[in-house]
Copies of this chain bind each other. A is one copy, B any other.
Amino acid sequence: MEAPPVSPTSLWDNIPEQLPEELFTTLLTRPGIRLERIVSRGQATPTGEWYDQPQDEWVLLVAGSARLRFSDPEQFIDLRPGDHLLIPAHRRHRVEATAADEDTVWLALHLEPGPSS
């Protein structure tokens, strides 16, 4: 029996012309794992809000640019295309800024917490 054909898609597919809010698209899920694409167009985390997530998140900036902020200790990290980092579970962080003049495309891999490697 033949396998079904494989079919590629693109991270650039299905980005609407108007993007009043960030766009979250799940690419793949497995038990304890979720891979998503995030598209930002100048958005940032609302003032005073922080992400505090129960899962580890590995994130890659594919295109555009962004500034992340972490607390305890406070850190500001500017991301360019190709930059990636692991955000441990419950490490408070926020997106301070994303590029205003182009789309910022992220790949985010949410994982059960575990020893970093």
Contact = CB atoms under 8 A, between A and B. Distances in A.
Nearest to A8: B85
Contact of A111 (B8, B33, B77): B33
Nearest to A29: B117
Copies of this protein chain in the complex:
2
Nearest to A63: B82
A18 interface: no
A62 B12 CA distance: 12
Nearest to A26: B117
A6 B86 contact: yes
Contacts of A112: 30
A5 B111 contact: no
Dominant SS among interface residues on chain A: strand
Given A27-B84, A109-B109, A11 B60 contact: yes
Interface stretch (A44-52, A67-75, A94-102): A67-75
A79 to B, nearest CB: 7
Interface of A: 2-3, 5-12, 26-31, 33, 35, 58, 60, 62, 70, 72-73, 75, 77, 79-80, 82-88, 91, 105, 107, 109, 111-112, 114, 116-117
